[in-house]
Amino acid sequence: MKKFVFISDGNALSTTTFNFIHWLHEQEAFLLTGAFFNDINYGLLIPSAFASSADPYLEVTRGEKEKFEATIHRFETLCTKHHIEHRIHRESEHWDKNDLVKESRFTDLIIVSGQHFFATPPNNSNHLLSEVLSSAECPVLVVPDEAKPIKKVAFGYDGNKDSMYALKMFCNVFPTLTALPVDIDYFVSKTDDEIPDLDYLEEFVGRHFTNANFRERYFDPRTYLSTWLKGHNDTMYICGSYHRSALSNMFKKSFAEDIIKEHAATVFIAHTK
């Protein structure tokens, strides 16, 4: 049995994300750990010495804590209802990347909600999601607002180690999904470009997938993905590296922002350190 970690800021629990997690659990059971970060920013509260009464600010603090505990309770209730073995980790009161790194070191997969992951001000959701993607020591699954059960897999291949590493991690984490149709896309800039190491790729893919389709795409991958991902909420896209550039280029704010605000596809991201 594998272990997955769901990362939450404690503000809300996306029904769509949990329904998707439940669907994944039906495919293959796993231990689900909820890692909850209380995102109260006490530095933004006016010090009581400068206020006529501290009561309003204490109420804000209590209210945030109550919401935090209510989110955890709902998570536990849903897990129990759907017979999902689970654990609760209450993380630091403030976002701490070290907590994330520790969680990722001892799990097979991190799951985040594109809708609710640190989406409440004053936190910067794009920056925090980028930190998750770049700092995690395991694959990350970003579940969008309109996620549906997966019916198809797509994979961006460029011949480099990061793209193949992502594909291997997908096969390890989701072996039951390898029975689905998979499109393997190689992005080319010239008509005479060939898929690199195609014989080796076919050997590997043929051992893990039963229905694979190899395609050359004459598009810039970032432009193509920004359009393609919007209309495929039943597809999981495997991200490694693109068009002979390092995966780190995909961790820019614009990409994280696209995942949160625009994309409808579920995105599986894995990279080597």
CATH class given for the domain over 2-143: alpha beta
Q: How many CB atoms lie within 10 A of CB 91?
A: 21
pLDDT of amino acid 41: 47
For residue 123, name the pLDDT band (cuts at 50, 70, 90). Answer: very low
pLDDT of amino acid 254: 45
For residue 135, name the pLDDT band (cuts at 50, 70, 90). Answer: confident
For residue 108, name the pLDDT band (cuts at 50, 70, 90). Answer: very high
Is residue 260's pLDDT more than 80?
Answer: no
pLDDT of amino acid 216: 81
Rounded to the nearest integer, the mean pLDDT of the chain is 79
Domain(s) of CATH 3.40.50.620: residues in the chain: 2-143, 152-269
Report the residue count for the chain: 273
Average of per-residue pLDDT across 167-192: 89
pLDDT of amino acid 53: 52
E strand or H helix at 56, and its extent? Answer: helix 55-81
- Strand 86-90's sheet: what is its strand order? 86-90, 30-36, 2-8, 109-113, 140-143, 266-269, 235-239, 152-157, 182-187, 212-217
Average of per-residue pLDDT across 234-243: 73
Fold of the CATH domain 152-269: Rossmann fold (3.40.50)
